[in-house]
């Protein structure tokens, strides 16, 4: 178990915990497909993705969700402190084929949304956007705080 970096006494609702830029390439999608076993062609085949009315190849929803919560696990200092995490997927994340360069740039900002001193937890609300549009809605992680 990793030592936590956060103390409940130092937290306030509305305080930003940090931000992160996620640069996603097609290579990232291939690696994630291999790790997850999700080889749906919408995540690697441009023609197929467009045939099913997508704007092109899109990132796996769980890839986007997992990459976004990394901000929280880095902030709390212990991935095991995450008690719950959920979101709604609102928009796909198209990933252009730019020969290994980032084909999508997603911005993640985390803010303390609620504190429960009795339970020793904090809820972190994540704003996850691509080109200023939210791609995840109600992305919230509850973490145990020291």
Q: pLDDT digit string (tens) for 1-16?
A: 556 679 999 999 999 9
pLDDT for the residue 1: 54
In the three-class reduction of DSSP (H, G, I as helix; E, B as strand; rest coil), residue 4 is classed as: coil
Q: Which two tokens mark 80?
A: 């095991």
Task: State how far Cα 145 lies from the chain centre.
Answer: 20
Distance of CA 69 to the CA centre of its chain: 5
Give the CATH number of the domain where residue 66 resides: 3.10.129.10
In this prediction the pTM is 0.92
User: What is the token pair recorded at 141?
Assistant: 């992680």
Taking only the tens place, the pLDDT of each residue in 15-47 is 999 999 999 999 999 999 999 999 999 999 999
Q: Is the pLDDT at 64 greater than 70, yes or no?
A: yes
Residue 32 lies in a domain: no
Residue 42 domain-assigned (yes or no): no
pLDDT at 101 over 90: no
Q: Which domain holds residue 15?
A: 8-23+60-144
Confidence of residue 108 (pLDDT cuts 50, 70, 90): very high
């Amino acid at each position: 178990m990793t030592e936590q970096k956060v103390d409940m006494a130092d937290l306030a609702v509305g305080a930003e915990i940090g931000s992160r830029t996620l640069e996603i390439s097609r290579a990232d999608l291939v690696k994630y497909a291999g790790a997850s076993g999700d080889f749906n062609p919408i995540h690697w085949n441009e023609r197929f993705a467009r045939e099913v009315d997508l704007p092109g190849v899109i990132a796996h929803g769980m890839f986007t969700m997992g990459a976004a919560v990394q901000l929280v696990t880095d902030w709390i200092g212990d991935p095991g402190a995450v008690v719950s995490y959920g979101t709604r997927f609102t928009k796909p994340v198209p990933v252009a084929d730019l020969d290994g360069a980032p084909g999508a740039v997603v911005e993640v900002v985390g803010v303390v949304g609620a504190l429960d001193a009795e339970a020793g937890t904090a809820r972190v609300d994540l704003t996850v956007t691509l080109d200023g549009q939210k791609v995840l809605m109600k992305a919230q992680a509850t973490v145990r705080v020291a």
